[in-house]
Structure 1
Amino acid sequence: MTEPRIAAAGLRVTRSGRDLLHDVDLTVRSGEHWALLGPNGAGKSTMLAVLGATSHPTAGTVEVLGRRLGRTDVRALREHIGHVDPRHRVLSPLTVLEVVLTGLTGTTDLMLRWEPTAEQLDAAHRLVADVGLVARTDARWPVLSQGERGRALIARALVAEPDLLLLDEPATGLDVAAREHLLETVDALRTRRPDLSSVMVTHHLEDLPASTSHALLLRDGAVVAQGPADAVVTSSAVSAAFAFPLTVDRVGGRWHARRAPGATRASHPSS
């Protein structure tokens, strides 16, 4: 069995005297694609920040790509982690190709006096093709649709050949067609990069790609359930995480959630 890409034990994150996460254990192995699910305030963003080495745990241990947080150079570690965030800011009117190339430097703009090697440029072009943006290679960021931006950011995250990919609600703001195109792009990674591990945060089951292999459900900073996706993304577990009676179905590899028959608005404890 390969060394885990992520190994967290007893993870706790406390801010201003409040536990945002507590008693979280998580192991992610090579080739696994995890969904991190839960309502607002469940601790998903906090968890992703720790896994991306941009935040540190208050207690417990977290190893990312074999390196323990608190005992490693996090700047060097981040070079091996790809991060897809639809809120990523591109301040200059870069082209699609240029945005992808910024993934090699970990910057929001092209660095002065920096030039990619021929191999890096070829890799960037291949990734632009992989995410279906060849016809938009030279299109500039301000004129791209939200869906095109999302796919460009996936290519940007992959250009440095990371071992771990973190996706922070990548379907945010997308219409149905753009969401489906983006999720097809994510699904294709399983074939193109079989050793790549990923963790995706989302509120909506409909935003999960069919390639999702495992899931972790959070509520109030604690784990409700975790494990293989088919055993975790169920009506009972998702209802417990969201504190609302839901019926969850999986059709054609994709999940859908709806109000359980007979459930009323009054059934929701926060209503």
Structure 2
Amino acid sequence: MIEPNLDATTGGVVLNADKVDLVRAGRTLLDRVSLTVLTGEHWALLGPNGAGKSTLLSILGAYNHPTRGTAEILGHRLGRVDVHALRRLIGQVNPRHPLESARTVREIVLTGATGTIELVPRWTAGEDELRRADELIALMGLTPIAGSRWPELSQGERGRTLIARALMPEPRLLLLDEPATGLDVAARELLLSALDELRAERPDLTSVLVTHHLEELPTSTTHALLLRDGAVLASGPTDDVLTTELVSACFDHPIAIARHNGRWTATAGG
């Protein structure tokens, strides 16, 4: 397996995209996007539907290659690395997880050790893996339902299960694609609290979260990138980027941005 070429100290470059374009069927989905993410930073990718957020995340997760420009992930440049090995170094959370069998929470979390959707036939988890799975299940507040099966779980419980699964291989990078999709308010708050706790316990963890709702950002979010029509409108620390002026320009609508107790709100009429 390849090893991440990453500084052990805070400040190491985890992600670096330089003037990335992505063109499909003659359509430009990303237009000269540049982004540098350092160890311990927690980025939000924001923008309207179709802005290119999930497309950019697919490049950062080594599932797409840029048409032009360069993308380096954990010190490895796309196009010069085995992407299958690279993906095993990245924790990826997709709320549309294609699990088809009725596995328990614990079994699903354990699939993170093998990097598979289903349990691998004849594979047996070791004591360390079982202990780590139980620790992550506890961190996500899922211990009381560790034996519950996937079809029985709420959308919020599924989301927290998938985060625990993504953390099994102890990744340095966690990518979350709209993890609060379909959650009610209570489930959303449980999810965001779990993310804040995770980030506090793992100061070396770096994350990128895609959303188009500012209310879905954890308080621990440090940086933001605004995408509009596949291009970067603004990028940097949250206080500089998540402003009424810039968010209104990004969504092409007057939106008033406020922050209370570390959380953001957006209302019409900026």
Which of the residues 64, 79, 99 maps onto 2:108? Answer: 99
Which of the residues 150, 167, 182 maps onto 2:191? Answer: 182
Which of the residues 5, 13, 19 maps onto 2:14? Answer: 5
Which of the residues 9, 20, 23 maps onto 1:14? Answer: 23
SS in 2 for 1:157: helix
Detail structure 1 runs of 4+ shifted over 4 Å in the superposition.
none
Q: Figure out how many residues of one structure are paired with residues of the other and give that number.
A: 261
Please provide the CA RMSD for this pair.
0.9
Unaligned runs of 5+ in 2: 1-9
- What does residue 218 of structure 2 align with? 209
Deviation at 1:249, TM superposition (A): 0.4
Which of the residues 124, 144, 147 maps onto 1:115? Answer: 124
Residue pair 2:38, 2:206 contacting (<8 A) in 1 also: yes
- What does residue 255 of structure 1 align with? 264
Residue pair 2:46, 2:210 contacting (<8 A) in 1 also: yes
Structure 2: how far apart are the matches of 1:12 and 1:72?
A: 19
Structure 2: how far apart are the matches of 1:129 and 1:100?
A: 12
Deviation at 1:90, TM superposition (A): 1.5
Residue pair 1:3, 1:66 contacting (<8 A) in 2 also: no
Deviation at 1:92, TM superposition (A): 0.8
Deviation at 1:17, TM superposition (A): 0.9
TM-score by length of 1: 0.95
Residue pair 2:139, 2:198 contacting (<8 A) in 1 also: no
SS in 2 for 1:5: strand
Alignment of 1:30-45 (within 5 A): 30-45=39-54
- What does residue 233 of structure 2 align with? 224
- What does residue 209 of structure 2 align with? 200
Residue pair 2:41, 2:207 contacting (<8 A) in 1 also: yes
TM-score by length of 2: 0.95
Structure 2: how far apart are the matches of 1:191 and 1:84?
A: 19
Structure 2: how far apart are the matches of 1:213 and 1:244?
A: 24
SS in 2 for 1:224: strand
Look up the equivalent residue of 2:130 and give its one-letter code.
L
Q: Does 1:162 align with 2:171?
A: yes
Structure 1: how far apart are the matches of 2:234 and 2:82?
A: 32
Residue pair 2:44, 2:224 contacting (<8 A) in 1 also: yes
SS in 1 for 2:81: coil
Structure 2: how far apart are the matches of 1:106 and 1:2?
A: 28
Q: Does 1:242 align with 2:251?
A: yes
Residue pair 1:168, 1:202 contacting (<8 A) in 2 also: yes
Structure 1: how far apart are the matches of 2:84 and 2:12?
A: 21
Deviation at 1:189, TM superposition (A): 1.4
Task: Report Cα offsets for 1:83-120 as digits up to 9, x if no partner.
Answer: 11111022111000000001111111100011111101
Look up the equivalent residue of 1:166 and give its one-letter code.
L
SS in 2 for 1:139: coil
Residue pair 2:20, 2:69 contacting (<8 A) in 1 also: yes
- What does residue 266 of structure 1 align with? none
Structure 1: how far apart are the matches of 2:252 and 2:14?
A: 31
Structure 2: how far apart are the matches of 1:207 and 1:129?
A: 22
Look up the equivalent residue of 1:190 and give its one-letter code.
R
Structure 1: how far apart are the matches of 2:112 and 2:139?
A: 16
Deviation at 1:18, TM superposition (A): 1.3
Deviation at 1:2, TM superposition (A): 3.5
Alignment of 1:65-144 (within 5 A): 65-144=74-153
SS in 2 for 1:40: coil
Task: Report Cα offsets for 1:146-192 as digits up to 9, x if no partner.
Answer: 11111101100101101100000000000000000000001111211
